[in-house]
Amino acid sequence: MMLFTEVRGLPVVPPDESGPLGTVTSLTVDMVSGTVSHVRFRGSRFGGETVLPWESVDTFGPGAVRVGSIGAVESVRPHHDLLGRRILTDTGTGHGTVLDVAFDTGTGRLLAVFTTRGELPADRLLGLGDYALVVRAG
């Protein structure tokens, strides 16, 4: 298990470990499956963001994100970062903001969302948009 905040800023290392490709900027979540779908990283201060599918990642560790293949760069729709996002229940009630997200580094499955109002199980997540993360009222 790792937290999104632990992954942000980690170097992305290619299979030959020839040097970092960049540093992780964020993780994209597929709300339907409840998993991390993409790793986003920036190669240099002025470089554009690169998006790798989850399947390209070999391992997540405390020191780096190791990728198995860098040829699978994808173009994906705009992404909404979970960290700092406002939370609303499906009945429209505010439920604080997202502080962090725990996920399984082997499968990418979300485990829990840590909010300003406590912990939410990942199975309560319904959708993520421009305005808020929507969760099932509990």
Number of domains, the chain: 2
Confidence at residue 19, expressed as pLDDT on a 0 to 100 scale: 78
pTM comes to: 0.88
Tell whether 79 is covered by a domain: no
Tell whether 74 is covered by a domain: no
Tell whether 48 is covered by a domain: yes
Q: If 0-12 CB within 10 Å is exposed, 13-18 middle and 19+ buried, where does residue 8 land? A: middle
Confidence at residue 48, expressed as pLDDT on a 0 to 100 scale: 75
Q: Inform me whether the pLDDT recorded for 71 exceeds 70.
A: no
Contact assessment for residue 12 and residue 24, using Cβ atoms and an 8 Å cutoff? yes
Tell whether 73 is covered by a domain: no
CATH number at residue 45: 2.30.30.240
CA distance 95 to 86: 8
Place of tokens 């580094």: 105
Query: DSSP string of 44-66?
Result: SSSSPEEEEEGGGEEEE-SS-EE
**Do 47 and 98 sit in the same domain of this protein?**
no
**Do 126 and 91 sit in the same domain of this protein?**
yes
78-136 residue pLDDT tens:
788 999 999 999 999 999 999 999 999 999 999 999 999 999 999 999 999 989 999 99
Q: Inform me whether the pLDDT recorded for 9 exceeds 90.
A: yes
**Do 11 and 43 sit in the same domain of this protein?**
yes
- Provide φ and ψ at 55, rounded to 5°: -65, -20
50-66 residue pLDDT tens:
888 999 899 988 799 99
Confidence at residue 61, expressed as pLDDT on a 0 to 100 scale: 80
**Do 6 and 48 sit in the same domain of this protein?**
yes
Domain that holds residue 7: 2-67
Q: Inform me whether the pLDDT recorded for 76 exceeds 80.
A: no
